[in-house]
């Protein structure tokens, strides 16, 4: 360990209550209820990403009707537009977007990965040139928390030193240690611990020893929740699962665990089995704009010619607003109509966004129900069977391996 943490770690106030409702008797999956300042969030939960205070074409009302209780805003983007002054004048992001449910904001740290070539990271913070107007900017832990205080989100994330997942060597440890020091600065900077929950972010790349150190140190700070960061950046899925499982074993079980940037259905379900509660990803909304529909049987690219004359709903028996038949109060949208509109009219993208976000939310809702009934292992087996049309040869090895570590054998037919 290069540098010891001198001062005694500060302990954080919590503005949430977290209660595990049910624990899967086979896997590490759990169903929980988390009460945040803007209402109840039932985990496992997927949190759709409203990057710039708008969920890609959906009105807050539509999002609410999908049963979404918490969405993400991106601190980095809101800091540029509309900016801190405007957010202060308006009174935060809830008021800006008329969203009465919960908001989670990231720290802006993720942008460091994408801006790495332009950024220099020092102990003080991240110095980079604004990609919008080229002015030099400094993102410090204090600045990030200050912005998130202005946004007023219910869950705020610490600024962490993000390195690309595939980085190896000294830099990974440095980033991990620095993230711990930055957490202390973030805790000290948070002006509203009574209504904004600061989450720590576990770093340490794919090195389990570093992850262990980080988990232990960050758990000491007793933040209201803990996130597993630095993943979903192109690492092998086996490595991803190993790190997630390792962290959930070490982290306190009485706090929500949030796996950042995970949004593929298989990844989420395996992570739930490994003990994760919260997820976020732009995937369902972004892929909708490319004309891709996420369904239980896999992703359909509805721009494909074969869907031009396919008059069935986007997904059979789907309860989302677009697939529900008109006779049941839905829109009764066909694949053919989406094909007709995809990439040509924005309303087509909006419809698929509705479907995809519903799919993600509903997947987590059903997983939660299965955990409560203690049927999660069979739920997960059924999910993989449906996704791959019952062909076990198509099951991804990483998922089979990862689930074996939590006593579920996908290839085993019994139970």
Partner 1 sequence: MASAPPPSVVPLPAFRILHTQAHTLARLGLFSPSAVSRPGKSNVSAIPTPNFILPTSRGTIPHITPDIARKHVDIPAVFVSLEDFVDKTGLKSPVAQSKRKIRDYISLLPPLANPTQQVPIFLSPRRSCPVPTSQPNSENTVSIVTNDGFRQLPISDYFTLVSQLKDEDTVIVAPVDLPLLISPINSVDATRASKPWKHIGGNRVRKMVTRNELWSVSTLKKFAAQNAVIVPLLPGISVLEQAPYLDSILKVEQATAVTDGNVKRRIDGLNVLELASPFIPESYEPVARAPACDPAHDTTLTSSRTVDFGILPSGVRDVLRLNLGYQSGPHDVIAAVERGHDLVCGDWITATTDAGIAFTFAISGNPMSRPGEKVAIGISLWENDVYATDLSPLSDECECYTCKYHHRAYVAHLLAAKEMLAWTLLQIHNIHTVNRFMRAIRDAIKDDKFIEIAAEFRRKYIPQLEGVTPGGGPRVRGYQVKLAGMMTDKKLNESPFQNFSIVN
Strands (E), 2-135: 17-23, 30-36, 39-43, 45-48, 70-73, 102-105, 119-121, 126-129
**Would you say 108 is a known binding-site residue?**
yes
User: Judged by CB, which is closer to partner 1: 77, or 388?
Assistant: 77
280 is catalytic: yes
Q: Reduced to 3 states, what is the DSSP secondary structure of residue 331?
A: coil
Binding residue for partner 1 (CB under 8 A) from 209, 249, 316, 345? 345
- Between the alpha carbon of residue 159 and those of residues 179, 217, 225, 249, 391, the distances in Å are 7, 16, 14, 24, 43
Phi (first) and psi of residue 260, to 5 degrees: -80, 135
Per DSSP, helices labelled H in 22-155 are 60-65, 75-78, 84-90, 93-97, 110-114, 141-151
User: Judged by CB, which is closer to partner 1: 25, or 347?
Assistant: 347
d(CA 161, CA 51): 21
**Residue 314 CB, nearest distance to partner 1 (Å)?**
12
d(CA 60, CA 52): 13
- Candidate ranges 160-168, 172-180, 254-262, 339-347; the one touching partner 1 (CB under 8 A): 339-347
**Would you say 320 is a known binding-site residue?**
yes
Phi (first) and psi of residue 123, to 5 degrees: -60, -30
d(CA 349, CA 285): 9
Q: Verify binding: residue 409, partner 1, rule CB under 8 A.
A: no
- Between the alpha carbon of residue 170 and those of residues 1, 165, 391, the distances in Å are 11, 13, 43
Q: Verify binding: residue 318, partner 1, rule CB under 8 A.
A: no
Binding residue for partner 1 (CB under 8 A) from 311, 316, 409, 415? 311
- Candidate ranges 75-83, 152-160, 164-172, 373-381; the one touching partner 1 (CB under 8 A): 75-83
d(CA 181, CA 34): 27
Q: Verify binding: residue 120, partner 1, rule CB under 8 A.
A: no
Binding residue for partner 1 (CB under 8 A) from 10, 14, 23, 62? 62
Q: Verify binding: residue 251, partner 1, rule CB under 8 A.
A: no
Q: What percentage of the chain's residues is helix, strand, coil (to nearest 5)? A: 40, 20, 40
**Would you say 160 is a known binding-site residue?**
yes
Binding residue for partner 1 (CB under 8 A) from 134, 234, 389, 390? 134
Per DSSP, helices labelled H in 294-345 are 335-341
Q: Which structure tokens are listed for 408?
A: 């579920």
Q: Which of 106, 161, 184, 267 is catalytic?
A: 106
Q: β-strands 278-281, 257-259: how paired?
A: parallel
Residues that bind partner 1 (rule: CB under 8 A) add up to a total of 50
**Residue 116 CB, nearest distance to partner 1 (Å)?**
13
Binding residue for partner 1 (CB under 8 A) from 9, 92, 193, 332? 332
Strand partners, 202: 228
Contact criterion met (CB below 8 Å) for 166 and 194: no
Binding residue for partner 1 (CB under 8 A) from 309, 312, 386, 407? 309
**Would you say 412 is a known binding-site residue?**
no
Q: Verify binding: residue 97, partner 1, rule CB under 8 A.
A: yes
- Candidate ranges 32-40, 50-58, 162-170, 363-371; the one touching partner 1 (CB under 8 A): 50-58
Q: Verify binding: residue 90, partner 1, rule CB under 8 A.
A: yes
User: What letter would DSSP give residue 79?
Assistant: I
316 is catalytic: no
- Candidate ranges 56-64, 182-190, 270-278, 296-304; the one touching partner 1 (CB under 8 A): 56-64
Residues annotated as catalytic (active site), given as ranges: 106, 280
**Which amino acids are annotated as binding site, given as ranges?**
106-110, 160, 203, 230, 318, 320, 323, 355
Annotated binding site for Zn(2+): 318, 320, 323, 355
Positions touching partner 1 (CB under 8 A) are: 52-62, 77, 81-82, 86, 89-90, 95-98, 118, 129, 131, 133-134, 308-309, 311, 321-322, 326, 331-334, 336-337, 339-341, 344-351, 354
């Amino acid at each position: 360990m290069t540098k010891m943490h001198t001062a005694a770690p500060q302990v954080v106030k919590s503005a949430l209550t977290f209660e595990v409702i049910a624990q899967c008797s086979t896997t590490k999956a759990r169903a929980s209820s988390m009460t945040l300042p803007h209402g109840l969030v039932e985990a496992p939960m997927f949190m759709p990403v409203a990057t710039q205070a708008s969920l890609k074409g959906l009105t807050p009302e539509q999002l609410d009707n999908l049963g979404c209780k918490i969405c993400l805003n991106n601190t980095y983007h809101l800091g540029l537009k509309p900016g801190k002054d405007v957010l202060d004048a308006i009174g935060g992001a809830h008021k800006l977007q008329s969203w009465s449910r919960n908001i989670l904001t990231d720290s802006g740290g993720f942008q460091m990965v994408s801006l790495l070539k332009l950024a220099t990271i020092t102990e003080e913070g991240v110095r980079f040139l604004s990609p919008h107007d080229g002015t030099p900017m400094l993102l410090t832990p204090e600045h990030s928390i200050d912005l998130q205080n202005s946004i007023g989100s219910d869950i705020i994330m610490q600024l962490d030193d993000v390195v690309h997942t595939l980085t190896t060597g000294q830099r990974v440890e440095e980033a991990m240690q620095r993230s711990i020091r930055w957490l202390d600065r973030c805790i000290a900077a948070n002006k509203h611990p009574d209504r904004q929950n600061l989450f720590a972010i576990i770093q340490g790349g794919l090195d389990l020893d570093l992850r262990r150190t980080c988990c232990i140190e960050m758990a000491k700070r007793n933040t209201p929740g803990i996130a597993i960061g630095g993943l979903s950046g192109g690492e092998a899925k086996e490595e991803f699962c190993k790190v997630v499982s390792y962290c959930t074993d070490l982290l306190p079980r009485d706090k929500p665990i949030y796996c950042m940037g995970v949004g593929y259905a298989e990844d989420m379900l395996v992570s739930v089995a490994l003990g994760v509660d919260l997820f976020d990803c732009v995937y369902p909304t972004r892929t909708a704009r490319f004309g891709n529909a996420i369904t239980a049987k896999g992703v359909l690219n509805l721009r494909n010619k074969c869907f031009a004359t396919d008059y069935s709903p986007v997904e059979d028996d789907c309860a989302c607003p677009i697939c529900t038949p008109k006779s049941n109060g839905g829109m009764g949208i066909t694949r053919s109509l989406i094909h007709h509109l995809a990439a040509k009219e924005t309303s087509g993208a909006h419809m698929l966004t509705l479907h995809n976000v519903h799919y993600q939310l509903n997947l987590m809702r059903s997983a939660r129900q299965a955990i409560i009934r203690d049927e999660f292992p069979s739920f997960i087996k059924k999910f993989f069977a449906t996704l791959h049309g019952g062909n076990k040869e198509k099951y991804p090895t990483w998922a089979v391996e990862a689930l074996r570590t939590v006593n579920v054998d996908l290839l085993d037919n019994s139970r």
